[in-house]
Structure 1
């Protein structure tokens, strides 16, 4: 979290954390402060257009900062800063990686769900897309059939997944 805080991201303060190896559904617990405010998904409909634009600019700023970070190991390696496995209840077996490329990471996350029909793998690896070039919580969609949108993903949940191992920062 020190890295995220140094980059200007609003992050909670970690009070303590500990391991619980015998509890597979939650092998690590983290006690931290809460950030003030409401979740975007709960407050979005009540926001003014100006507030929505401001939030979009903040998200774009965070993304621009992260895109400028260089990989400490070179290449496209995906792992925590300690160069260990990613540990999260949101990944298969609660432990994943490290991964040498984004393709390897995506395959690890997506392939098990398509075991029922492996021929679709190449199609589904190119199906995720953003709409209107922004990161609003309702704009994460899965494109199937050349543009017919069949499912929406909650961006807030997706961003939580990306930052669930943030205590490694």
Structure 2
């Protein structure tokens, strides 16, 4: 129980609600202004001071200190990890400009001498809501709360944006992408899908297969993805339940963690969300949002994972 005499805006559960717009913009949002290197460095120094302050703040309120998602008063948090980047900040600002409930980016900090490759930080608002949890339960569309339909509107609207980078697979800035499913968690940019597929298949290994025949069968399944050409869509890239917050009223209150966002082949959002639990409740959510498409692509992705998982699982 927080001290009752402390104003609400100083307490760690204070939030800045960001209701969804009545419609999500289907036109590609403009790229936001990128702060200069001097500004980013100055903000980085300020963010380091906020981190030190958070040590005292968390102790005062008896809440856990998280070095990656740093809690602050005034409804603010500081995200500072080895994956945080300018690309994430830009993707967040694009999504928020379109009307999606995303934290407001207040400043971006650059850290030249940070430990553990924590070179970038983002100061943002804290949004309300409770994160979704996956399960083995069946999905019943007719009894789900409004968040499900609002989330689908966000995803479908983003998929109608037009890439300024032709058929390149890249971040919102046209640079490399961050993904937990590749070595070192970073890849690209790629000028086309074929380059992406070549990269994803490059670490394929027979390790873990009972026979060469099983390996060849998985390889044939994985390479079937090359038989079709796909649209390049704007993609969240880490479409998982813990990144979706729902308010007490059942409405979508936040869509978080845009560090993997960018321009990917159209199936990527749904296969990435489903490949580790294709029968789970969340996989059913992803399939419903994708109108039941991309089943063949999911089979290809599962085969690809069996071929390459050794290359990134230790990172």
Q: Distance in 1 between matches of 2:125 and 2:105?
A: 7
The number of equivalent residue pairs is: 137
1:100 matches 2:191: yes
Offset of residue 31 of structure 1: 3.1
CA RMSD of aligned residues (A): 4.0
Residue 66 of structure 1 is aligned with which of 118, 134, 158? 158
Tell me which residue corresponds to 1:55: 147
Deviations 1:75-108 (A, max 9, x none): x21212322222x373422432112234533553
Quick one: higher RCO (CA 8 Å, sep 6+), 1 or 2? 2
Q: Aligned to 2:170, what secondary structure does the other structure show?
A: coil
More strand by share: 1
Residues 1:9 and 2:100 aligned together:
yes
5+ long unaligned stretches in structure 1: 131-135, 145-169
Partner of 2:174: 83
Unaligned runs of 5+ in 2: 1-91, 208-214, 226-270, 275-280, 287-294, 301-315
Contact 1:16 1:32 in 2 (8 A): yes
- 1:53 CA displacement: 4.8
- The SS at the match of 1:137 is helix
Match of 1:116 among 206, 209, 217: 206
User: Given the alignment, which residue of 123, 127, 136 partners 1:35?
Assistant: 127
> 2:246 aligns to what?
none
CA-to-aligned-CA distance 1:36-56 (integer Å, 9 cap, x gap):
1011217xx8xx976725222
TM-score by length of 2: 0.34
CA distance in 1, matches of 2:121, 2:199: 24
1:50-71 C-alpha deviation (Å, 9 max, x unpaired): 6725222112211221121111
**Cα shift at 1:111:** 5.0
Partner Cα distance (1:20, 1:115) in 2: 37
Following the alignment from structure 1 to structure 2, what is the Cα–Cα distance between the partners of residues 79 and 20? 24
> 8 Å contact 2:168–2:190 — kept in the other structure?
yes
Which protein shows a greater Rg? Answer: 2
- 93-102 or 5-14, larger mean C-alpha shift: 93-102
- 1:148 is matched with none
Mark the CA change 1:81 to 1:56 in structure 2 (over 3 Å): closer, same or farther.
same
Residue 159 of structure 2 aligns to a residue in which SS?
Answer: helix
